[in-house]
Chain A
Amino acid sequence: MVEETKANTVSFTRRAVLTAAATAGAGLAGDAFISTVDASDTGDDGVAIVKQLAGRTLVESDRIHLVMPRTFPNGYTVPLSLEIDCPMTEADHVRNVRVFAPRNPLIEVVCFHFAPRRSEPRVSTRIRLAEPQYVLAVAEMNDGALLMNKTWVEAATNGCA
């Protein structure tokens, strides 16, 4: 009985929070949509920022498979899966993969580090997104090459508020 009461309190609070967040998020998402229509169709603004961060030439590559839903009901836990076609030998492996969300308040999301022959360049996680935007993944290969791919994601609420 005590437990039930406790559970109800928790879920009520959570619901209140989520409702408030959804209401706030809808307004923001609306604004964001207007501002993205002109600029970000190509995702080039994001690419430019990430290029600056990376400091080197990015090569767009279909060896990088970045899988995210095109639309998602909330920005708090957007699923992200990443896989890179790579044998992971000493001679050809992925050192790390960085994920960027250029329209988030802080654009770096996560960096995964791999080890040749020990780990596979394949991960899944969940991230926060503030606005509809291109999410970018940049893989640094063992020869220093930077391979990049991107995918468009629209989260219905702001996950960074």
Chain B
Amino acid sequence: MATMFTPTPRVQVPSVAAKGEIFQVKALISHQMETGLRRDPKGDVIPRKIINKFACRYNDIVVFGVDLHEAMAANPYIEFYLRATESGRLEFIWEEDGGHTYALTHQLTVG
């Protein structure tokens, strides 16, 4: 069952926002989220491999974070809301069991 696809992160964020405006962020990563509770046809436990952390940094400050456990659905989708304070860089980081990370950055202009 361990498919070999590479997790692909995606975000949907506005490029421009008014100062003080609250804007929506949609973050998704394609990922099996193997819970570690399943067994393969031979009866062996399929080892857990999930995205266990997500963080959003706004000009290097962590403004939103998530600890994910086994009960998060496969291809974890997270929709959240940030306040536009200043122009700058938004960074999205997903961390997988075993320490591998996936990241995206996005430029936001606050006018």
Contact = CB atoms under 8 A, between A and B. Distances in A.
Interface of A: 76-78, 101, 104-106, 108-115, 117-120, 122-129, 159-161
B62 interface: yes
Q: By DSSP majority rule, is chain B's interface helix, strand, loop, or mixed?
A: strand
Interface residues of B, number: 28
Interface string B53-94: 000001001111111111111101111111101000000000
Contact of B69 (A78, A109, A114, A159): A109
B76 A160 contact: no
B103 interface: no
B74 A118 contact: no
Nearest to A128: B71
B38 interface: yes
Contacts of B68: 110
A114 B22 CA distance: 14
Which of B58, B62, B77, B81 has the largest number of chain A CB atoms within 10 A? B81
B85 A118 contact: yes
Given A112-B66, A118-B83, A160-B35, A127 B58 contact: no
A74 B36 CA distance: 20
Most buried by B among A76, A108, A126: A126
A115 B64 contact: yes
A123 B79 contact: yes
A39 B63 CA distance: 40
B71 A127 contact: yes
6 contacts: A77-B73, A108-B71, A109-B69, A112-B80, A115-B62, A159-B71
Contacts of B76: 125-126
Given A119-B81, A119-B82, A76 B38 contact: no
